[in-house]
Amino acid sequence: MTESSLDPEARWDLVDAIVEETVEYGDSEPTIPELVGKLTVSPWTGLPFAVAVLYGMWRFFGAVAGFFTDGYFVPLFDDHWLPWLQQAFPMEGSWLYFVLVGDPGATTSFEAFGMLTSGLFVAIGVVMPAIFALYLIVAVLEDSGYLSRLAVLLDALFHKIGLHGFAIVPMVLSFGCNVPGVAGTRALESDKQRFVMMTLLSVFIPCGAQLGVMLSLIPQYTGYILLYLLAGFFVFGAILDRVVPGSSPELIVDIPPLRQPRPDNVATKLSLRFRGFFKTAVPFVLFGVGIINVLYLTGTIEWLAGALGPVLTGWFGVPADTVPALIAGFMRKDLAVAQLSAIGLTPFETVMSVVMISIYFPCVATFAMLIKEGRDSVGVVRTLAGSLGTLVAALFVWGGLLRLVGVALGVAG
């Protein structure tokens, strides 16, 4: 009788016989990395450790990205590139000057809002360092074997919204900047999961810059606002999980041993991902700025401000003065929050307006990333239509609910 004709039971007996002949057993003392590896997936010890790792990840990301952006690219673009371009570029006052250079009186590259000023600054000065820091820290975590453990630890929580444990990485990164967060959704398996995560990140997760401004201007409300947004993240995640067609595969992940990351592995991953991102993302950000400028030139933004004014004030109970800040939120949410501080708002109106700015349209760089990543998953049209539909629903339902809470507490008008 040949092995192929054996029934399953006989095959297992054969396997046992081979194992008995070839495998030697003995007691071995587990190593510290092996024991720590086990502790990292046990909730009581693993969750505090995850808090430490996520804090470290966020801190590292902020430090490295801030070092390049605030330390070098801001002065380089604001003090050298912008003044030179404003003087050297001909045809001041023309539509071409407005699209490419932007405001001739601007003193910072962000305010100028031309393709070659704000566009280039955002792409190279803001997004590039952020992506570098993101890919570096993710490569280190992957190579250390911890990322798989984090995914296993948080899998149950994210399964409630059709995602899996790897979703924690883009979520945490989005608290630094939504752009690498959206890029980080590549860790998710299905198109449905990527779409749901991209949408939730761009709608409910405030970026580090916005958080910084919130903490400095309204520290007493920031915690409540964050809690409300996180609640919205999971409520709308659960709804999207039921509404969006597609699969949400179970997390089946091989857990490698915890080990010291190898610099050559990390460098190779970083180099491949960084080059790939840089070649494709920069044009998206540049054209995103160009398209907004065209919308400004054609009066579309102004029309939107006028049309949305009564709706926003009527539904959300905030004064019409907040409309320009909401429009500014599309360019940069932290500045939009700062703009609110100049308007005389009641505490509740402040909380309401900041929540609206957070939920309201993603900033231009995130919008460009949604287009880019959407193209690689469910398609640009479906991604944008789905994300916009969700943000409109979230804005009106979640924002309206907050107003109801305010009315119930007697603090909303």
Residue choice 10, 17, 215, 272 for contact with other proteins (CB under 8 A): 215
Among 41, 64, 304, 384, binds other proteins (CB under 8 A): 64
For other proteins, the binding residue among 89, 97, 190, 212 (CB under 8 A) is 212
Pick the stretch among 18-26, 38-46, 121-129, 390-398 that binds other proteins (CB under 8 A): 38-46
**Could you say whether residue 71 binds other proteins (CB under 8 A)?**
yes
For 115-160, the DSSP string reads: IIIIIHIIIIIIIHHHHHHHHHHHHHHHHHTHHHHHHHHHHHHHHT
Of 13, 15, 43, 55, the one binding other proteins (CB under 8 A) is 55
40 binding other proteins? (CB under 8 A)? yes
Q: Does residue number 219 form part of the binding site for other proteins (CB under 8 A)? A: yes
Cβ 238 to other proteins, closest distance in Å?
26
Can you tell me which of 12, 14, 15, 70 binds other proteins, judged by CB under 8 A? Answer: 70
Instruction: Give the shortest CB-306-to-other proteins separation in angstroms.
Output: 38
Residues 1-30 touching other proteins, rule: CB under 8 A, are 29-30
Exactly one of 66, 246, 324, 379 binds other proteins (CB under 8 A); that residue is: 66
* Residue 32 lies near other proteins (rule: CB under 8 A): yes
Pair 241, 196: CB distance under 8 Å: yes
Q: Give the residues lining the site for other proteins (CB under 8 A).
A: 29-32, 35-36, 38-40, 45, 48-49, 51-53, 55-56, 59-60, 62-64, 66-67, 70-72, 75, 79, 212, 215, 219-220, 223
